Amino acid sequence: MTDPVIVKRPTILADGRELIYFDDADTTLGPDRAVDARVLDPRPQTATMRQDVLTGEWISIASARQNRVFLPPADQDPLAPATPTNPSEVPSNYDVAVFENRSPSFGPAIGAEYSLEELDQIGLGRTLPSIGRCEVVCFSPEHEGSFGSQTESRARTVIEAWADRTAALSALPGIQQVFPFENRGEAIGVTLLHPHGQIYSYPYVTPRTKRLVESIEKFGPHLFESILESERASERVVISGEHWTAYVPFAARWPIEVHMLPHRHIPDFAATNGEERDELAGLYLKLLRGIDKLYDTPTPYIAAWHQAPVNVARDDIRLMLQVTSPRRAENKLKYLAGSEAAMGAWIGDVTPEATAAFIREAIARV
């Protein structure tokens, strides 16, 4: 932990899953936490990955996810602090809580390690256990909200949790990549209104990152340094600080799309220092609140923190935030139709320069 004032309190849930409380630097909570007294069913079996022979990509078939809760009322929120009438996933009141997902896409098994060469082979009917770990990151005990609705102190606690979990999950045997993200809004497919994100730990390098590695091989190892220099000199910057810059990328796909990069090479959250985490807490809040100011209602989005793989290209791939939203007008969404969904050939609806100006104006109103 980089910030000694943010206290980490690990415990175990009734079915053996790990739960970690992270207390704000200015917390009002005491140190004691209740024991999870529930009687729970055994954890589901680890899902199975099947290889798509057309692309070489691995698809995890996780049927246990079909049973997850869908938009429950506040008094049945599984991420709220437990009460006598709501025996939730978090036994005590909290600031930030991180726990293993009850119905994970990867895991709960870990330990096996697939070589990258083995994973890259192509063959019919190939299957492997979906080893890994999926964690839920609760940003607040409140029933509704998002990362952008938190205080700066709370945002800093979440960032500390991301860094802590990135380091811990990267050290697990068999993990090749760690991915923190937040899905926000029913239009994105969110099934819980509670302010939260997730962290996926994959047993392979994801397809998007493999494409990035190919681009680095063609462009050169200074790709991210060059991107940052080019974007900072453009009219697409939306917000910048001493350590971070956010911008609409030159070839944005989505109607709302913002990337953020650190000014020095950092492969993942675990490698950030205290000053970078402090500044990010304020800048990231301002960015998300600005995106919410674009229209009169909150903007649905996916906030994806792309990190370097655990064992590949760590000197070349830089930690990067990508916020994307399908919202192309106040009451219109961009749906992925034939060209995008079937062929991966994107068509933008507005110039990135116009989008950047639109977002800058909104951030100025925060």
Active site residues: 196
Judge whether 28 and 151 are in contact, CB under 8 Å: no
Largest interatomic CA distance in the chain? 59
State how far the Cα of 133 lies from the Cα of 127, in Å rounded to an integer: 18
State how far the Cα of 247 lies from the Cα of 255, in Å rounded to an integer: 14
Distant-in-sequence contacts of 14-17, Cβ < 8 A, 24+ apart: 14/38, 14/39, 14/40, 15/40, 15/41, 15/42, 15/43, 15/102, 16/43, 17/43, 17/99, 17/100, 17/102, 17/108
State how far the Cα of 166 lies from the Cα of 309, in Å rounded to an integer: 11
- Apex 39 CA angle, 33 and 40, nearest 5: 100
One-letter amino acid identity for 105? S
State how far the Cα of 292 lies from the Cα of 248, in Å rounded to an integer: 16
State how far the Cα of 264 lies from the Cα of 228, in Å rounded to an integer: 10
Cα–Cα distances (Å) from 57 to 52, 62, 111, 127, 336, in that order, read 5, 16, 21, 11, 20
What is the helix (H) or strand (E) element at residue 163, kind and residue range?
helix 152-170
- Apex 21 CA angle, 308 and 184, nearest 5: 60
Distant-in-sequence contacts of 221-228, Cβ < 8 A, 24+ apart: 221/315, 221/316, 223/316, 224/261, 224/265, 224/316, 224/317, 224/318, 224/320, 225/265, 227/261, 228/261, 228/263
State how far the Cα of 71 lies from the Cα of 186, in Å rounded to an integer: 9
What is the helix (H) or strand (E) element at residue 227, kind and residue range?
helix 223-232
